[in-house]
Amino acid sequence: MIIFGTKGYLYQLAILTLVCGQCGNPAAHTLRKRLTKFTLFFVPLFPISTTYLTQCTFCGAEQKVTKEQAEQLQAQSAGGPSGQAYGQPQQHDRF
């Protein structure tokens, strides 16, 4: 008996402020990577598909983006006003 299947993973790469194409509001959008892996006996072995998408936090609309667009958006978020990557603690100077 062989047990096989797939398992999905969802990674949040960045949070960006964009104008939503669905509702038209300037709102925060999450940049996500959805990865599906083939499993054998419940052990994930290799990726089958990878998709990138943005989701509006205001209306919940999702839009697929290409890998190149996702990398560009992620680089844009890392070079934002604070210059820090997503998930990194920000340091504030007190005067």
Residue type at position 70: A
CB-based burial label for 54 (10 Å; 0-12, 13-18, 19+): buried
The C-alpha R_g of the chain, in whole angstroms, comes to: 17
* CA atoms of 41 and 6, how far apart (whole Å): 10
Contact 61, 21 (CB under 8 A): yes
Query: Mind listing the pLDDT tens digit for each residue in 13-25?
Result: 999 998 988 888 8
Tokens of 75: 């680089």
Tokens of 18: 């964009």
**What is the sign of the dihedral through the CA atoms of 86, 22, 49 and 35?**
positive
Query: Mind listing the pLDDT tens digit for each residue in 2-51?
Result: 899 999 999 999 999 989 888 888 999 999 999 999 999 999 999 999 99
Tokens of 58: 């205001």
